[in-house]
Amino acid sequence: MAKIAKIYVDRSVCIGAAPCVAVAPGVFALDEENKAYVIDEHGADDEIILLAAKSCPVQAIHLFNENGEKIFP
């Protein structure tokens, strides 16, 4: 898998379901609007971050490599 360089959460589609926080609590947190944001892009291994992105029911988590190319979804 390509190395994750950038994590973007599309807050307009995030529904606060929070599996991302459960899978990678070192990377994602929920704010007072119950929407996810990134607390540390390097707070977990890339495999865990990918797992968190895949766990999002609305695919709000977008992952990019160091060339700015989308890795997921």
Residues at the site binding ligand SF4, with contacts judged by CB under 6 A = 9, 14-20, 28, 36, 55-56, 58, 60-61
Q: With beta carbons less than 8 A apart as the criterion, state whether 29 and 52 touch.
A: no
Rounded least distance, CB 59 to ligand SF4, Å:
8
Residues 6+ apart with CB under 8 A from 32: none
Dihedral pair phi/psi, residue 62, rounded to 5°: -110, 135
CB of 73: closest distance to ligand SF4 in angstroms? 11
Q: Which is nearer to ligand SF4, 69 or 73 (CB)?
A: 73
Asked if residue 16 lies in contact with residue 30, where contact means CB atoms within 8 angstroms, the answer is yes
In the complex with ligand SF4, the residue whose CB is nearer, 31 or 66, is 31
Q: Quick one: 1 or 15, whose CB is closer to ligand SF4? A: 15
